[in-house]
Amino acid sequence: MDARIRKSELSGRVVAPPSKSYTQRAVVCALIADGKTEIVNPSRSEDALFALRAARMLGARVTDFDDRFSISGGRIEVPEDVVDCGGSATALRFFTAVSSHADGATVLTGDDQLRRRPMGDLLKAMNSLGAKCFSTKSNGFPPVVVMGGGMEGGTAAIPGDVSSQFISSLLVSSTLARNDTAIRLSSALESKNYIDMTMEILHKFGAKVAFDPGRGEFSVPSRQILHPLSYHVEGDFSSAAFMLAAGILCGKVLVDGIQLPSLQGDSAAIEILQRMGAKISCSGNTVTAETSVLRGIEIDARQIPDLVPILAAVASRAEGETRITGIKRLRYKESDRIATIAETAMRMGGRIETGENEMVINGVGMTKGAIIDPSNDHRIAMACSILALFSEGETIIKNAECVSKSYPSFFEDLVRMGGKVEMIK
């Protein structure tokens, strides 16, 4: 399915989709918790549903209601089949670590994109903690095999600048280890907010985890029991940022369902866009964005890698130069996002230069429609769609359904506000 998009003027309001990051963390904790957990207002993105499926395969009893997931956990079982995590790196990494507590072997894999996402550092750390796991091709990439039998605990070192999901998954699984666990950072910590979100969820389930920034070390007591609860998922800032950008470029958009303050790192989108000159205001749980004259700025993206595609799109419309640094990890996302952002931006008339760890965008007077292949990357597809709303001519987004990985109602929300979007086969 492709999307045909023409220049539009937007006016209206949308509800931010529930956070897929919080949903997946709540699902994995519900698998561990001893009893029934209710996850209210869960994300229905593809990633979240793959996490729910993985929890069910590992022993959770799951009922999917319209407005909530009901999950009864407390025992991790050996799955009957290979655990397919689709395109969800979060699900793959969390359930890889947790499956070490099953009584037998678990095999986990995913789609073509996910099988290109690194796992080596996580597998090495798990083995250091007494788990037995390996990559089937001995190359540090999925598929992976986890032999089960539990995790001893102890001390493991892991880099902080490859994937925060490695650290988050170890924090969750270490609550069940036979001995106390220390996780030491071997490099500077990036995407810290995602780890803060994991620790917040664990605390809500009654777990004890702590971080000593001076030592660069996380500590997790052993043999913990997580307690079930009713958990309400807040709106997703990563997704809301696309709608705020739409308002800034072509109309007035109100995004409801936003919780401020929030531990979500991508809540920084509001402050960054305001620094660019965007007219953004917050009232209660609603954020309003209006057509604005934008200027180029410098952005450090080490803590907010998922915002880079939409910030690069917005920067194409800003006056002057925008420099985005701290982006090297983007090469290991759903696509090589540094290359994909540059290629798609230039196809739409943008001016962008990229390096190993930065990109420089020079604003242009007007972007143009183009045929865009987003490389099956949901954030690239959405960023180019937003830019298409303010571009001359017609834009075709190929394989547009890839947005369902994080924001299934993305195109419907644009149409509801006046976006000229047509889905075509």
Task: Determine how many CB atoms are found less than 10 A away from the CB of residue 412.
Answer: 13
Q: Which domains does the chain have, with CATH numbers?
A: 2-17+235-424 (3.65.10.10), 20-232 (3.65.10.10)
Rounded Cα distance between 238 and 406, Å, is 9
326: alpha, beta or left? (left if phi > 0; alpha if psi -120 to 50): left
Q: How far is CA 41 from CA 18, 205, 234, in A?
A: 7, 18, 8
Strand, helix or coil for residue 201: helix
Question: Which helix (H) or strand (E) covers residue 99, if one does?
Answer: none
Averaged pLDDT for residues 84-97: 97
Question: What's the distance, CA 316 to chain centroid?
Answer: 24
Phi, psi torsion values for 420, nearest 5 degrees:
-85, 85
Q: How far is CA 393 from CA 84, 369, 390, 401, in A?
A: 40, 5, 9, 22
| pLDDT at position 334 | 75
User: Which of 306, 373, 377, 413 is an active site residue?
Assistant: 306
Buried b (16+ CB within 10 A) or exposed e, 156-166: bbbbbbbbbbb
pLDDT in tens, 361-405: 999 878 999 999 999 999 999 999 999 999 999 999 999 999 999
Rounded Cα distance between 56 and 80, Å, is 11
- pLDDT at 177 > cutoff 90: yes
67 catalytic? Reply is no
Strand, helix or coil for residue 106: strand
Averaged pLDDT for residues 107-117: 94
Burial class (CB in 10 A: 0-12, 13-18, 19+), 134: middle
| pLDDT at position 56 | 97
Angle at alpha carbon of residue 286, lines to 284 and 290, rounded to 5°? 130
Rounded Cα distance between 219 and 208, Å, is 9
Note the pTM of the prediction, 2 decimals: 0.94
| pLDDT at position 331 | 83
- pLDDT at 24 > cutoff 80: yes
| pLDDT at position 165 | 95
- Token digits for 178? 């036979």
Strand, helix or coil for residue 9: coil
pLDDT in tens, 301-339: 999 999 999 999 999 999 999 999 999 988 877 778 899
Buried b (16+ CB within 10 A) or exposed e, 102-125: beeebbbbbbebbeebbbebbbeb
C-beta of residue 166 within 8 angstroms of C-beta of residue 122: yes
- pLDDT at 249 > cutoff 90: yes
Phi, psi torsion values for 319, nearest 5 degrees:
-80, 130
Averaged pLDDT for residues 198-214: 97
- pLDDT at 416 > cutoff 80: yes
